[in-house]
Structure 1
Amino acid sequence: MASVGFLGLGIMGKAMALNLLNAGFDVTVWNRNPEKCTELVVKGAHQGISPKDVAANCDITFAMVSDPDAALALCQGPDGVAAGIGSGRGYVDMSTVDDGTSKTIAHLITQAGGRFLEAPVSGTKKPAEDGTLIILAAGDQSLYDDAKPAFDVMGKMSPYLGEVGQGANMKLVVNMMMGGMLSIFSEGLSLGQKAGLDGQQILEILDAGAMANPMFKGKGAMLLNEDYTTSFPLKHMQKDMRLAVALGDQLDQPLPTAAIANEAFKQAMKAGFADEDIAAVYKVVK
């Protein structure tokens, strides 16, 4: 089985790397804060000393970090992935970034002789733990074929979307819709309860009709219990909303609903809820 590297062991990355380890892959891990590697090393992973070291010693290296700046930083500099990738080895960036950042990273990797795939994921902490993420892959098709066995362990679906940039765009479209839905859902629940309706009954009625969906079901319970345990940090959703609105500007596509939802998430950030779950947008609405 291929040797794989995994850079970034946050909420998502740790769960994904653990699934690869449990499936029998030879895994080498690295994290900016090295203590986060301990649990995986105890379970049989190797610990890399730098992104360069991991990329130089693994057939395919996966990365899962928080934002475009962190994703770029992993690749650049004397200890970066590009410095170690060498000829033919693969780099798969699973972070959510804009298509411009993705293309910059692709250029750094291919210039160094490596193969590149962007593969942002749709799904939060539980799907990462359960191996049921939706992986949005774009870039080098031979690397996609080689990475597919690992994708099958980490996710339930991993379509190939074409050239670099299309994975990032698909992720922004999906998350933009999610943010917009969560925003109107928060308003509806708040309005209903202020009008004297029972929150649980609102959720049951939604769940019985055409708007039933797993997000309303999961987040609805969180809102009623005022439980904002983080599975998808609110600050990351606001970043995705911002990037989606920017893509709309670039393509002359009006996005009035997304722009307003983005403002609700910005308000929640300003109110101090950046590190809480995306469900905390409800707090500024109610």
Structure 2
Amino acid sequence: MAKYGFLGLGIMGGPMAANLLRAGFEVTVWNRNPERCASLVALGARQGQNPAAVAAACDITFAMLSDPIASMEVCFGVEGVLAGIGGGRGYIDVSTVDDHTARRIAAAVGERGGRFLEAPVSGTRKPAEDGTLIFLAGGDQSLFDEALPALAVMGKKSHYLGAVGQGARMKLVVNMIMGGMMTAFCEGLALGRKAGLAGERILEVLDEGALANPMFRVKGPMLLQEEYPVSFPLKYMQKDLRLALLLGDELRQPLPGGAIANETFKRAGAAGLGDDDLTAVFEVVK
């Protein structure tokens, strides 16, 4: 059985690594804050000293990191993945980054004799805990095929989309749409309540028609209670919107709706809501 590594044990990475352990896989974990390793070590994980050591000891190493800067640091930094990769071992970055970052990491891993796959996920904390994420992969297809048993434990569907960069682009498209939907949802609830409509009735009507969707179903009650337990931090939603807009600029695709959503999330971040759930954008909309 393959040996797996897992780098980054935050809101998403911790549950994903835990699912691998519960499925009986051998897993070595690392996190910048080593205290986050404790609960996984209790489940049977080994604790790696640094990313290089994990990549050297494991057949396939996953990374779930906060943004492109973190992905670059873990790969290229002192005692980073590049110092341990090689010999055909695999590195799978499941973080949400831009396509340029993914291709740069892929090239460096290939030069060291390793294999690279980007596989950002569609899903937040609950799907990560439940093992129902959707993986959007691009890169080395042999690595994708070898990693499928692990991906199947952490997710309900894995899409192979071709060359490195296509997974990143798909994820940015998905999250840009999500950000736009969330701002429209918040505006609609705010308008309806100020017009004298009961929030619960608005959610009921939405759920009965063409606008019914899992996000509104889950997030709607949170908005009405004005409580925002963190599933997907607002600051990361804004980061993804920014990256989507940069891709739009590069491809000369106008994205006025995405730009408006980005500005709304920027306002929420400036209001000190960046570490709250993305639903906290309601605080600046209402």
Normalized against structure 1, the TM-score is what? 0.99
* Residue 156 (structure 2) aligns with: 156
Shift of 1:121: 0.3
Take 2:78 and 2:88, find their aligned partners in 1: how far apart are those partners? Answer: 20
Equivalent positions of 1:198-217 (< 5 A) are: 198-217=198-217
* Residue 96 (structure 1) aligns with: 96
Q: 1:158-196, CA deviations, whole angstroms, 9 ceiling, x for partnerless residues? A: 010000000000000000000000000000000000000
Take 1:255 and 1:24, find their aligned partners in 2: how far apart are those partners? Answer: 45
Take 1:58 and 1:161, find their aligned partners in 2: how far apart are those partners? Answer: 25
* Residue 131 (structure 2) aligns with: 131
Take 1:46 and 1:257, find their aligned partners in 2: how far apart are those partners? Answer: 46
Indicate yes or no: 2:171 matched with 1:171.
yes
Q: 1:93-129, CA deviations, whole angstroms, 9 ceiling, x for partnerless residues? A: 0000000111111111111100000000000000000
State the SS of the aligned residue for 1:197: coil
* Residue 80 (structure 2) aligns with: 80
**For structure 1, which runs of at least 5 residues remain unmatched after alignment?**
none
* Residue 268 (structure 1) aligns with: 268
* Residue 109 (structure 2) aligns with: 109
* Residue 33 (structure 1) aligns with: 33
Shift of 1:77: 3.1
Take 1:252 and 1:86, find their aligned partners in 2: how far apart are those partners? Answer: 38
Which amino acid is 1:212 matched to? A
Indicate yes or no: 2:53 matched with 1:53.
yes
Q: 1:135-169, CA deviations, whole angstroms, 9 ceiling, x for partnerless residues? A: 10110000000001100000000010000000000
Shift of 1:276: 0.3
Take 1:222 and 1:62, find their aligned partners in 2: how far apart are those partners? Answer: 32
Take 2:38 and 2:259, find their aligned partners in 1: how far apart are those partners? Answer: 42
Shift of 1:78: 3.5
Shift of 1:43: 1.2
Normalized against structure 2, the TM-score is what? 0.99
Take 1:195 and 1:78, find their aligned partners in 2: how far apart are those partners? Answer: 57
Take 2:190 and 2:127, find their aligned partners in 1: how far apart are those partners? Answer: 28
Take 2:243 and 2:75, find their aligned partners in 1: how far apart are those partners? Answer: 21
State the SS of the aligned residue for 1:6: strand
Take 1:124 and 1:190, find their aligned partners in 2: how far apart are those partners? Answer: 24
Take 1:49 and 1:76, find their aligned partners in 2: how far apart are those partners? Answer: 16
Take 1:9 and 1:169, find their aligned partners in 2: how far apart are those partners? Answer: 24
* Residue 257 (structure 1) aligns with: 257
Q: Which is further off, 160-169 or 103-112? A: 103-112
Q: 1:23-80, CA deviations, whole angstroms, 9 ceiling, x for partnerless residues? A: 0100000000111101111111000001000000000000001000000101113401
Take 1:76 and 1:206, find their aligned partners in 2: how far apart are those partners? Answer: 47
State the SS of the aligned residue for 2:160: coil
**For structure 2, which runs of at least 5 residues remain unmatched after alignment?**
none
Shift of 1:87: 1.5
Shift of 1:273: 0.3
Indicate yes or no: 2:196 matched with 1:196.
yes
State the SS of the aligned residue for 2:236: helix
Take 1:25 and 1:284, find their aligned partners in 2: how far apart are those partners? Answer: 44
Take 1:36 and 1:270, find their aligned partners in 2: how far apart are those partners? Answer: 28
State the SS of the aligned residue for 1:271: helix
Take 2:128 and 2:43, find their aligned partners in 1: how far apart are those partners? Answer: 18
Shift of 1:274: 0.3
Which amino acid is 1:249 matched to? D
Take 1:138 and 1:154, find their aligned partners in 2: how far apart are those partners? Answer: 17
Take 1:205 and 1:159, find their aligned partners in 2: how far apart are those partners? Answer: 33
What CA RMSD, in Å, does the superposition of the two structures yield over aligned residues? 0.6
Which amino acid is 1:74 matched to? V
Which amino acid is 2:223 matched to? L
Which amino acid is 1:209 matched to? G
Take 2:109 and 2:16, find their aligned partners in 1: how far apart are those partners? Answer: 23
State the SS of the aligned residue for 1:145: helix
Which amino acid is 1:10 matched to? G
